[in-house]
């Protein structure tokens, strides 16, 4: 188990804050044991929360040229035919994965290929389960083109709690299946838009693991 690089700033802030409140409790309220107990307990709680949020477990990746691998940990909350209006501008099969605060927050490429499109969109911070979050929230749009010509679009979507999306890709980059493409701090949602007729291996309510669970086949 490793600590993800995106969490260092948050961890430093928590450690500094913890040092301050412990100092205040010990030197300004030395006669109040409850104040010191509260300071230590709060510091430990916040540190555990940050370490849990930014954990980066080692995993045995599932790979396959025809497989679509889950780009994130979480629960499948949407499977429906919808119109994708930004890039494809036609009907696609949408699969959405909700990432709770207790999930691993690393995002990965679902297939191998070339990043044929990338765009960052500033936006709102609606709750991730809101239908409009897919089009109104802060988000990125990434399209990966497989060697057989199939393109898959997926979005990192911010939520009410997740206020920072990180990405490591740009148009023209080579995408390695299960390779890291980004991080959503404190969870949120990832949407995939697949060709109609894609054979799915999941259903609504299924819990998936990024880089391991098979969503479907190209």
Show me where the domains of the chain are located: 2-56, 67-217
Please give the average per-residue pLDDT across 56-80, as a whole number: 95
What are the φ and ψ backbone dihedral angles of 171, each rounded to 5 degrees?
A: -60, 135
Helix H segments across the chain? 8-28, 33-53, 133-136
Residue 131: per-residue pLDDT: 57
Please give the average per-residue pLDDT across 183-197, as a whole number: 89
CATH 1.10.940.10 is the classification of domain 67-217? no
Q: Does 112 have pLDDT greater than 90?
A: yes
Q: Does 145 have pLDDT greater than 80?
A: yes
Give pTM, 2 decimals: 0.87
Please give the average per-residue pLDDT across 96-119, as a whole number: 94
Each residue of 14-47: b (16+ CB within 10 Å) or e? beeebeebeeebeeeeeeeeebbeebeeebeebe
Q: Does 159 have pLDDT greater than 90?
A: no
Q: What is the mean pLDDT of the chain?
A: 90
Residue 188: per-residue pLDDT: 83
The set of catalytic residues is 188
């Amino acid at each position: 188990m490793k600590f993800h690089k995106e969490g260092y700033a948050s961890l430093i802030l928590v450690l500094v804050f913890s040092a301050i409140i412990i100092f205040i409790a010990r030197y300004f309220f030395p006669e109040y044991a409850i104040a010191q107990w509260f300071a230590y307990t709060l510091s430990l709680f916040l540190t555990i929360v940050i370490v849990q949020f930014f954990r980066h477990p080692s995993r045995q990746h599932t790979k396959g040229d025809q497989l679509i691998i889950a780009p994130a940990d979480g629960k499948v909350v949407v499977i429906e035919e919808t119109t994708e209006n930004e890039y494809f501008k036609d009907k696609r099969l949408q699969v959405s994965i909700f990432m709770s605060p207790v999930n691993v927050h690393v995002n990965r490429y679902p297939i191998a290929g070339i990043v044929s499109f990338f765009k960052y969109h500033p936006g709102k911070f609606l709750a991730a389960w809101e239908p409009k979050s897919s089009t109104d929230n802060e988000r990125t749009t990434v399209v990966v083109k497989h060697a057989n010509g199939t393109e898959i679009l997926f979005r990192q979507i911010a939520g009410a709690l997740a206020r920072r999306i990180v990405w490591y890709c740009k148009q023209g980059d080579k995408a390695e299946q299960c390779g890291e493409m980004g991080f959503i701090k404190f969870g949120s949602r990832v949407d995939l838009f697949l060709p109609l007729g894609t054979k799915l291996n999941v259903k609504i309510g299924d819990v998936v693991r990024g880089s391991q669970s098979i969503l479907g086949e190209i």
